[in-house]
């Protein structure tokens, strides 16, 4: 078993173009360490009333600086629309709502056309009622961990603190099912340190987590919050913070280039119910129909638009079609013998507005068993502060050539601790890629400054590999402006090596060059010319076998030499007959 420790390289910015196209996968199976073991009775959810129609609702102001992204409606009352600042609102004549490029939804304020003023008044009253309800619940635990939740795991229940509650950079885990409910009663401030993460584990939903805070809520730089915030004063989100939930403030909400996404409810969660072939099936026929059945009917129009969010290493596929009830997605395929396959779905949408909460992937093979090789490692936040949970890792046999797409052969999920194990990995030179769709728009768009990616140098897989470490980063370069070509020159070790009768030589050139690739024996005699031409920037794989040379080949050591412009590199290969 090999162990690699690999760091991100400058090729990251050259890969981001394809990530907006290929995005998909990986069913999350979080690994958790429970530190708060008591299971309390499940409290009833807090009824938000019409306040639950808003991603952000405030009474005195909503402000933003920088490029903020909000998914869901926002509203203010009783203060006027002039107290919504930084959004460049567009209000059509006599309209009940305005719009903003920063908001995927509608913006409501007093003074807009009916019925907006009355609806806002009701929503604000409902927000206050919800706050009072949450604050009045009987608690199961008081002053737990003296208010420092860093590194702890909390199961369902009602928790009460008379002091400040803090979550440090080590984060906190909310662990439970999609029907479990958490109510946190905080008499003073709630503070998340920079980079702190509220991890949701075991199917827990942000829509079932209620933070009732009498003081101020402060989310540090790149902090990641989950749940419904019912705040009696101000909610302040610092640069790059994210909220999967709702910000409901009885004073103001301030944002600095943040992301707020309305939470998915249990009824809105779209899940995969079954697949055909089943997961880990063996001896699958070479001609078959793949079927994936969801928990509710799919929005087939949106699914067609989102076709690029479905990925597989199957080369020959037919057209997609749906069952009469629109719950099952089908596609006919032609498979190859003794080959392991994966099918992955990153994003899906139901007719009822439900969305796929976690990426999904499953595996099958036309052979009698799966490859035993695995690739494992970690994905870390780096300077982005983005949790690796719900991110994915793929392995490609090639880097991205100009206007091309990598050839992915294996995928896996990343758990809440940032670790992954990719199963069923073929041998060869492979390129790991990690990605996360932070703003949940169904694409990887790192140029927005929200989504993140990680790229590392190639790994030589001959047996299981461990210690592949990927570090998230962002790029502010527009994806449309990034050429999908490498930024450096390199010559990889041939694979397999030793070989008989053939092997593959892979190399990368950073710009258009006159390229020469030749093979020499130990006496320095040229025995084969594999490339001698002008080539565009990109990655190339050249086959070499005993029939390529001008001289007869015998077992022994040979050398292959790449020259591209001023770049020269030589490596050794071994022929064994």
Q: What is the 3-state secondary structure (H, E, C) of 123-172?
A: HHHHHHHHHHHHHHCCCCEECHHHHECCCCEECCEEEEECCCEEECCCCE
What are the pLDDT digits (tens) for 15-46? 444 444 333 333 333 333 334 445 799 999 99
Q: What does the pLDDT average to over 54-69?
A: 96
The pLDDT value given to residue 184: 98
What are the pLDDT digits (tens) for 465-485? 999 988 888 654 433 333 233
Residue 14, pLDDT > 70, answer no
Nearest-5° angle of CA 435, CA 380, CA 451? 35
- pTM of the predicted structure, to 2 decimals: 0.54
Among the ranges given (3-17, 92-106, 287-301, 456-470), the one the predictor scored with the smallest mean pLDDT: 3-17
What are the pLDDT digits (tens) for 404-442? 456 789 999 888 778 999 999 999 888 888 888 776 666
Question: For residue 237, what are the CA distances in angstroms to 58, 419, 438?
Answer: 14, 28, 16
The pLDDT value given to residue 183: 98
Whole-number Å distance between alpha carbons of 170 and 153: 11
The tokens for 540 are 């190339």
Q: What percent of the chain has pLDDT over 70?
A: 85
Among the ranges given (27-31, 48-52, 501-505), the one the predictor scored with the smallest mean pLDDT: 27-31
Q: Is pLDDT larger for residue 301 or for residue 228? A: 228
Residue 300, pLDDT > 60, answer yes
Q: What does the pLDDT average to over 448-466?
A: 83
The pLDDT value given to residue 290: 95
Whole-number Å distance between alpha carbons of 466 and 427: 14
Domains observed in the chain: 2-24+268-356+358-481 (2.60.40.1220), 49-264 (no CATH), 490-575 (2.60.40.1930)
Nearest-5° angle of CA 161, CA 162, CA 167? 50
Whole-number Å distance between alpha carbons of 540 and 549: 20
Using only the alpha carbons of the chain, give its radius of gyration.
27
């Amino acid at each position: 078993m090999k162990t690699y420790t690999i760091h991100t390289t400058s090729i990251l910015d050259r890969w981001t173009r394809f990530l907006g196209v290929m995005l998909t996968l990986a069913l999350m199976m979080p690994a958790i360490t429970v530190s708060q073991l008591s299971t309390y009775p499940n409290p009833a959810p807090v009824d938000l009333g019409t306040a639950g129609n808003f991603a952000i609702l405030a009474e005195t102001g909503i402000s933003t600086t920088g490029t903020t992204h909000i998914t869901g409606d926002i509203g203010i009352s009783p203060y006027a629309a002039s107290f919504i600042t930084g959004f460049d609102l567009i209000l059509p004549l006599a309209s009940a709502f305005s719009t903003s490029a920063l908001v995927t939804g509608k913006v409501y304020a007093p003074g807009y056309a009916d019925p907006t003023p009355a609806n806002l008044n009701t929503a604000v009253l409902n927000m206050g009622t919800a706050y009072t309800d949450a604050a009045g619940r009987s608690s199961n635990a008081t002053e737990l961990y003296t208010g420092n939740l860093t590194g702890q795991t909390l199961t369902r229940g009602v928790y009460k603190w008379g002091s400040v509650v803090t979550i440090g950079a080590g984060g906190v885990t909310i662990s439970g099912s999609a029907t479990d409910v958490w109510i946190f009663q905080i008499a003073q401030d709630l503070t998340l340190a920079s980079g702190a993460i509220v991890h949701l584990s075991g199917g827990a939903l942000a829509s079932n987590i209620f933070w009732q805070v009498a003081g101020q809520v402060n989310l540090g730089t790149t902090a990641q919050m989950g749940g419904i915030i019912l705040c009696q004063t101000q909610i302040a989100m610092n640069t790059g913070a994210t909220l999967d939930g709702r910000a409901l403030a009885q004073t103001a909400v301030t944002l600095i280039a943040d992301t707020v996404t309305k939470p998915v409810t249990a009824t809105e969660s779209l899940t995969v119910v079954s697949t055909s072939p089943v997961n880990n099936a063996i001896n699958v026929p070479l001609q078959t129909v793949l079927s994936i059945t969801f928990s509710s009917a799919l929005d087939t129009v949106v699914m067609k638009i989102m076709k690029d969010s479905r990925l597989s290493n199957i080369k020959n596929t037919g057209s997609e079609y749906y069952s009469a009830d629109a719950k099952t997605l089908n596609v006919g395929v032609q498979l190859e013998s003794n080959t392991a396959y994966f099918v992955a779905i990153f994003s899906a949408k139901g007719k009822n507005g439900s969305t796929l909460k976690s990426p999904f992937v499953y595996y099958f093979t036309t052979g009698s068993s799966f490859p035993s090789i695995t690739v494992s490692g970690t994905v870390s936040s780096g300077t982005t502060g983005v949790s690796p949970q719900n991110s994915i890792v793929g392995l490609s046999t090639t880097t991205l050539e100009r206007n091309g797409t990598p050839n992915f052969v294996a995928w896996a999920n990343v758990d809440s601790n940032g670790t992954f194990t990719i199963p069923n990995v073929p041998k060869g030179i492979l390129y790991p890629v990690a990605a996360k769709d932070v703003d949940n728009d169904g694409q990887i768009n790192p140029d927005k400054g929200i989504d993140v990616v990680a790229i590392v140098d190639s790994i030589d897989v001959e047996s299981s590999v461990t210690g592949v470490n990927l570090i998230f980063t962002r790029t502010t370069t527009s994806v449309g402006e990034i050429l999908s070509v490498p930024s450096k020159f390199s010559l990889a070790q041939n694979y397999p090596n030793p070989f008989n009768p053939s092997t593959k030589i892979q190399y990368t050139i950073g710009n258009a060059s006159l390229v020469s690739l030749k093979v020499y024996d130990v006496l320095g005699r040229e025995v084969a010319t594999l490339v001698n031409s002008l080539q565009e920037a990109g990655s190339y794989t050249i086959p070499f076998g005993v029939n390529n040379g001008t001289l007869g080949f015998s077992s022994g050591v040979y050398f292959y030499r790449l020259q591209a412009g001023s770049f020269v590199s030589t490596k050794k290969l071994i022929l064994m007959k």
